[in-house]
Structure 1
Amino acid sequence: MNETALELQLFDSLKPELTSFCYRMLGSIDDADDAVQDTFIRVWQRWDSFRQDSSYKTWVYRIATNLCLDKLRQAKRRTRPVDLSGPAAAIIEPRETLPDSSWIWPAPDFTDSPEDILIRKDTLQLCFITLLQLLPPRQRAVLILKDVFEWSSKQIAETLGMSPAAVNSALQRARQTMEQAKLRSDEFSMTEAEPDRELLSRYVEAFEQFDIQALVALFHEEGRMSMPPFAMWVRGKDDLFKFFTLTRWHCDGSRFLPVTANGGYPAYAQYVPSSEGPYLVPWGIHILETRNGKVYHVQNFINSSLFSRFGLPERIHR
């Protein structure tokens, strides 16, 4: 095997895990993909400088982590609409949007291995990814490598160019911040890890028929819907009813395709009728969080570029 083939084989073996690391760091699958691609380019360019007596994995992660840290120095913290402002005071069609770089976005599964999907699945929940963004970038890297990937402090120190004592200090501060954030987050502490599949099916049926009464009845009393990149979000059954009534013209006739996101979590791709032909086109990816047998939060990520990333078709027939 020549050196180029060896480089590709070694890097490909790390790519799924490396992508999931970069996604946790950056909160965006597009940014994570870019970071992994840039990492490969630098690995290829610097192959001659790699010391064969050191860990290839540590070397690659050092490059990837530095790329992520560079990106984060130039970026504002990503969040979700529900963490940015209060619910809509008046129910109108959403208009104000923020740049894609403002928001946490969902990610498709990084691997087909059931074992890998099950491991630390909770650390891919959208609310957990949001909480990670509260940490300073270097603390974030330490926490992910230690508590998610279970690296040793020595290995983390070698990767980040820190002393083991500095790693342990950063880890302690990061854990304290995360624990306090989890306690403040109703959504993280009370949302069910495994959603009710029957409830999800009823949501899809009610939405596709656009039976507003049946749809709203599925929501928790404090149920909410958010729609990045729109900053507006809606809370409570009365306001949800008004919102669905207001947007009927757009959503009536929608169809859903099932997908999985963020570690095997069930999600649904919404297609809406096209004005240009007898077919439906991408609109948003719905991820539902449930509580006590009710829908607590529908996060409808309105970003058609996500569809190709999830391996979804550009259109479906009516």
Structure 2
Amino acid sequence: EAEDAVQEALVRAWRGLDRFEGRAALRSWLYRIATNVCISMLGASQRRARPMDLAPVSTADSPLPAALPEATWIEPIADARVMPAGGDPAEVAVARESVRLAFVAALQHLPPRQRAVLILRDVLRWKADEVAELLGTTVASVNSALQRARSTLASTKVEAGGPSEPMDDAHQALLARYVDAFERYDMDSLTALLREDATWNMPPYDLWLQTHRDIRDWCLGPGIGCKGSRLVPTMANGSPAFGQYKPSAQPGIWEPWSLQVLELSGGRISGITFFLDTARFFPAFGLPPRLEA
């Protein structure tokens, strides 16, 4: 969808180039075109979601439901594609915040124009008059849209522009313990790293788990095939992530199984999403097609 939006914005800019009068910078003119394209596309598309938005919490003995279509889900994106290369820490923090899975999920509850206003004002820190000029509206309309967007977002308990936790030594140690526990498949050690309200979910299925007991029992029951996996670190949506490889029938070979994206909060893991479409996601993240002993 993002690639389609870029293509459409460039086509519109090319067709309208003879009408560009030069009263504003070319970049600003292109930005306005791209913004309007995105707003139009959002209005025509369905809301994307996470499993927690679509179904009640499951238990370890819940049957695996049918997979839902790709267009249902919020999907991961590699940090390398969205983070400013060599950017200053403030720019990186803004970029990380704007692609967090929880924040992107919360944005789905907003109408397109409110979504644009919220991102421009609370994430990118634009002034109200700058947003009004970009969207071709008034400052009063921008302030009204922002107030409504903040009110809606508050109900999701996700803060726009809230600071992301830095990847300091403590977080790196937490991730090292997670990798060790997962690769040993020690579910007691792994669940000890989770918050009490941590979620465990697996698009394209709307099954999701929350209690430590259900997560542990599911991993040792239906998910036992993941025992013996290896993890390869990467970054997705401004968060730590891992390519997970399961043992194959061929000795000494591990095959792609999922892209794990972790969410951290308060020194613990608050959520783990297992994206199972490895044929699409592993190449996009530069992850190898298999691992060998």
TM-score, scaled relative to structure 1: 0.78
Output the CA distance in 2 between the equivalents of 1:280 and 1:44.
Answer: 48
Q: Which amino acid aligns with 1:69?
A: I
Encode CA deviations 1:255-290: one digit per residue, 9 max, x unaligned. 111111223x22111122344785333322212223
Query: Partner of 2:49 in structure 1?
Result: 79
**DSSP 3-state at the match of 2:156:** helix
Query: Partner of 2:228 in structure 1?
Result: 253
Q: State the Cα RMSD in Å.
A: 2.7
Deviation at 1:193, TM superposition (A): 2.4
Query: Partner of 1:18 in structure 2?
Result: none
Deviation at 1:135, TM superposition (A): 1.1
Question: Residues 269-284 of structure 1: matches in 2 within 5 Å?
Answer: 269-275=243-249, 279-284=253-258
Could you tell me whether the CA contact under 8 Å between 1:140 and 1:174 is conserved in 2?
yes
Query: Partner of 1:149 in structure 2?
Result: 124
Deviation at 1:157, TM superposition (A): 2.4
Query: Partner of 1:193 in structure 2?
Result: 165
Could you tell me whether the CA contact under 8 Å between 1:93 and 1:247 is conserved in 2?
no
Question: Residues 1-318 of structure 1: matches in 2 within 5 Å?
Answer: 31-89=1-59, 91-92=61-62, 94-109=64-79, 110=82, 111-115=84-88, 116-119=91-94, 121-182=96-157, 193-194=165-166, 196-263=171-238, 265-275=239-249, 279-304=253-278, 305-318=280-293
Deviation at 1:143, TM superposition (A): 1.4
Output the CA distance in 1 between the equivalents of 2:255 and 2:67.
Answer: 21
Output the CA distance in 1 between the equivalents of 2:10 and 2:26.
Answer: 13
Unaligned runs of 5+ in 2: none
Output the CA distance in 1 between the equivalents of 2:235 and 2:192.
Answer: 25
Output the CA distance in 2 between the equivalents of 1:309 and 1:45.
Answer: 31
Output the CA distance in 2 between the equivalents of 1:191 and 1:286.
Answer: 22
- Higher helix proportion, which one? 1
**DSSP 3-state at the match of 2:106:** helix
Could you tell me whether the CA contact under 8 Å between 1:93 and 1:246 is conserved in 2?
no
Could you tell me whether the CA contact under 8 Å between 1:219 and 1:294 is conserved in 2?
yes
**DSSP 3-state at the match of 1:63:** helix
Output the CA distance in 2 between the equivalents of 1:308 and 1:203.
Answer: 24
Relative to structure 1, the CA distance from residue 179 to residue 313 in structure 2 (aligned partners, 3 Å threshold; closer, same or farther) is same
Relative to structure 1, the CA distance from residue 43 to residue 158 in structure 2 (aligned partners, 3 Å threshold; closer, same or farther) is same
Output the CA distance in 2 between the equivalents of 1:239 and 1:272.
Answer: 22
Could you tell me whether the CA contact under 8 Å between 2:67 and 2:204 is conserved in 1?
yes
Output the CA distance in 1 between the equivalents of 2:202 and 2:290.
Answer: 21
Output the CA distance in 1 between the equivalents of 2:22 and 2:63.
Answer: 59
Deviation at 1:221, TM superposition (A): 3.3
Output the CA distance in 1 between the equivalents of 2:243 and 2:38.
Answer: 29
Q: Which amino acid aligns with 1:43?
A: A
Q: Which amino acid aligns with 1:133?
A: Q
Deviation at 1:158, TM superposition (A): 2.9
Output the CA distance in 1 between the equivalents of 2:184 and 2:73.
Answer: 30
Deviation at 1:123, TM superposition (A): 3.4
Q: Which moved more, 1:34-43 or 1:140-149?
A: 34-43
TM-score, scaled relative to structure 2: 0.84
Q: Which amino acid aligns with 1:135?
A: L
Q: Which amino acid aligns with 1:303?
A: D
Could you tell me whether the CA contact under 8 Å between 2:5 and 2:38 is conserved in 1?
yes
Output the CA distance in 2 between the equivalents of 1:145 and 1:83.
Answer: 25
Q: Which amino acid aligns with 1:250?
A: G
**DSSP 3-state at the match of 1:165:** helix
Could you tell me whether the CA contact under 8 Å between 1:257 and 1:270 is conserved in 2?
yes
Return structure 1 stretches of 4+ with deviation > 6 angstroms: none
**DSSP 3-state at the match of 1:181:** coil
Relative to structure 1, the CA distance from residue 253 to residue 153 in structure 2 (aligned partners, 3 Å threshold; closer, same or farther) is same
Deviation at 1:231, TM superposition (A): 0.2
Relative to structure 1, the CA distance from residue 92 to residue 278 in structure 2 (aligned partners, 3 Å threshold; closer, same or farther) is farther
Could you tell me whether the CA contact under 8 Å between 1:260 and 1:266 is conserved in 2?
yes
